[in-house]
Amino acid sequence: MKDYDVDALREQYPILSRKVNGRPLVYLDNAATSQTPRVVVDAVEDGYYDRRANVHRGVHTLSQEATAAMEATRRRIKDFINADSTDEIIFTRGTTEAINLVASSYGQLLSEGDEVILTVMEHHSNIVPWQLLQRRSGIVIKVVPIHADGTLDMDAFRNLFTDRTRLVSVCHVSNVLGTINPIADIIAYAHSKGAVVCIDGAQASPHVHIDVKETGADFYAFSSHKMYGPTGIGVLYGRSELLQAMPPYQGGGEMIGHVSFKGTTWADLPYKFEAGTPDFIGAAAFRTAIDYIDSIGMDAIAAHEHELLEHATDAMLGIPGLRIYGTAPDKSAVISFLIGDAHHYDTGVLLDQLGIAVRTGHHCAQPLMEFFGIEGTVRASFALYNTHAEVDAFVAALRRVAAMLA
């Protein structure tokens, strides 16, 4: 991209200039955790050094400043995803806790025999919480298969619905395949059948625009640490009327209206679902990360990453024996692959010796691995600070590794 100054962006990330095993680091594990720019780290440091005090209800200045910073992030997230109200923005520890909140709380409104539809490409965080609910409540889990290119079988999806289907939970973007699912179509069909929809947006939030009103999502979950922000902070968006009907997820301070041994009442939204002391410093710094993304522009980021994806894909396909899993036409900047009969772990270890950081294994998506008849893959995932030169270094290292493992 002509106006995309990746070199200037990289100056915000000191870690990108370090060496690993004597070689320049090429960090391609962004789907697991992105790196954090100085501006966000500075915001964390400011929180600890200037206004570290527990939030809400405090009358002293530090508490009020910390509360204001955290609530400013809530308002920023509301605008970022185009929600109606800050009441619909729940802070969690991450996408995993957000989905568990939905399964544990909204799940209490489901009955034995009610059906929940998932897909074979889901992360374990969007499978196991529903299995736990299945054990507790006797719900029925149905699974949507995929086509060979990694796209959802939408005919199979529609055919799974019955009059007992109550909820659909699906990833916006696959963490393994990069497939960008047609969530607006999925949500519209589910709503036509009277079901609500929970979207795992962990892999989408750093790469694509999110508009919960435009898509009609009932729940949408995502994490700060994949968005150049602090770890341990995430968000659950939920439609207000659904959150109002749901029982609390956890009990403790902050989420109460009044407590006595005769009975307890709950706080208003969003605090009903935020028991205990939150990571108010991380939450405040998350706003800085969102501002940082917006300062670059999501469209510009997506275009840059798409260029890297195409460049890498074309180059990798020239390596003998290399096969890519996930070739959907609409795809995020993730490439999962294997080389010949080489084990994914061996490939990853050898790449690390050459300074290339990738992810190996089943990527918390074992049912998807079973679908393809493999144990795991090597995964390279790109971010706004990666470069064409890094892609070339990665592919050159891959060629060397492929020759070693042949």
- Active-site positions read 364
Backbone φ/ψ region at 206: left (φ over 0), alpha (ψ -120 to 50), beta: alpha
Is 60 in contact with 215 (CB distance < 8 Å)? no
HSE toward the beta carbon, residue 16, CA cutoff 13 A: 23
Q: Is 93 exposed, middle or buried (0-12, 13-18, 19+ CB in 10 A)?
A: middle
Give the separation between CA 70 and CA 326, rounded to whole angstroms.
Answer: 38
Largest CA distance in the chain: 72
Provide the token pair at 303: 């275009």
Give how far the C-alpha of residue 213 lies from the chain's centroid of Cα atoms, to the nearest Å.
19
User: CA–CA separation, 358 vs 382, rounded Å?
Assistant: 10
Under DSSP, is residue 219 helix (H, G, I), strand (E, B) or coil?
Answer: strand
**Residue 132 near residue 101, CB atoms below 8 Å:** no
Pick from 365, 327, 370, 362: nearest CA to 344: 362
Q: Which two tokens stand for residue 91?
A: 């802070």
